[in-house]
Structures are given as structure tokens and as C-alpha cells.
Structure 1
Amino acid sequence: MPTIAYFLGIAIAMYYRDHNPPHVHVIYQGYEALVVIEDASLLRGKLPPTAMLIVRRWVTLRRAALLANWERARRHEMLERIAGPDDDAD
């Protein structure tokens, strides 16, 4: 499972052969969650409230890049790293 982003102790990963809906895997201090890319909703798992808020904002901000990575994963192509919420280059 490639890690596509890491920020504030939060690891964001994506599987190559994962199920729909398009989502990311979030790992933070022993917590794990799946977050839907389209609406940043919690699909499964749990995160502390502050971490969940940060991830939801990040997913919303980076939706296009995340969906592009999802399509790359479907084609078994290399995934790109995605900037964290503190990177204002976009």
C-alpha cells in the first residue's frame, strides 16, 4: 500500500486493487480510517476528531489529485506524492 502523503503524523495511503468508492486509507497514532475522496466522508474506521477535521479539509483541497491517483492505481501505474495541507504551492 503506497503512502501518497505524510503530514502532521498522518499517513495517507492508497491500494492498487481497492474497492469503490474511491477512498484513501488514513493511519494516525494507532487509528485507521477509510475516507471517501468525493465528499471526504468517513467510510470505515475512526480517527480522533482533530485528525479527522484535518484529513477532511485536506481531501477536499486535494480532491482532483487524489482522484487522479485513484485512476493511476486502477491502471497499475506509479502513484504520485500529494502535498500536505501546509504546502500552499497549489
Structure 2
Amino acid sequence: MPVISRFYGIMIRMYLIDREHPPRHIHIKYAEYEAVMELDNLNIIDGRIPKKCRELVREWAELHQDELIEMWDTQNFHPIAPLE
């Protein structure tokens, strides 16, 4: 699973579509926590992460939402700048 970005100890990944399922989403890993965030509405749809981590990932995803959706649709994975 390609790593899309890393910041503040958070790792954002996206699976290849042939191993995945709708809706469009990203996988979030932070310490022992894991969650899945839907890309269309940026809600957590599986797992759990601390509130501050969720807020940081949501802020980052809002900045890159169109790029993330295009990446899911085209399967053209590339790194995205971390949140600073």
C-alpha cells in the first residue's frame, strides 16, 4: 500500500483499487491507532484515532481532497506534501 504522506507521526496510505472497495478513502495510522477516512465527506468510516490526529488529517485532506480523489480514480499514486 503506497504511503501518500507522513506528518506529526501520522501515516496516510491508499490501497490499489483491485484490493479495495468503495467508497473512496484513505487509511490513517497513528501509533497503535488505525482508521479509514472517506474522501467525499472526510468522515471516519472505520477504526478510531485520537481527536487531535483526526483534526490534523481532516485539515490536510481538505487541502488535498481533489488530488486525493483523482489519485483514487486514476491509481496514479504520488507523495503529497505533509501538513506543516
Aligned length: 82
Runs of 4+ displaced beyond 4 Å: none
Percent of pairs with identical residues: 33
Spell out the pairing of 1:12-23 with structure 2 (5 A cutoff): 12-17=12-17, 18-23=20-25
Q: In the alignment, does 2:37 pair up with 1:42?
A: no
Match of 2:80 in 1: 82
Aligned residue type for 2:56: I
TM-score, with length taken from structure 1: 0.86
Give me the CA root mean square deviation: 1.0
**Separation of aligned partners in 2, 1:41 and 1:57:** 12
Q: Deviations over 1:8-64 (max 9, x none)?
A: 110000000211110000000110000011111011000001000101111111101
SS at match of 2:35: strand
SS at match of 1:62: helix
**Separation of aligned partners in 1, 2:74 and 2:31:** 28
> Which consecutive residues of structure 1, in runs of 5 or more, have no partner in the other structure?
none
**Separation of aligned partners in 2, 1:13 and 1:37:** 12
**Whose helix proportion is higher, 1 or 2?**
2
**Separation of aligned partners in 2, 1:50 and 1:85:** 13
Alpha-carbon distance, 1:85 to partner: 1.6
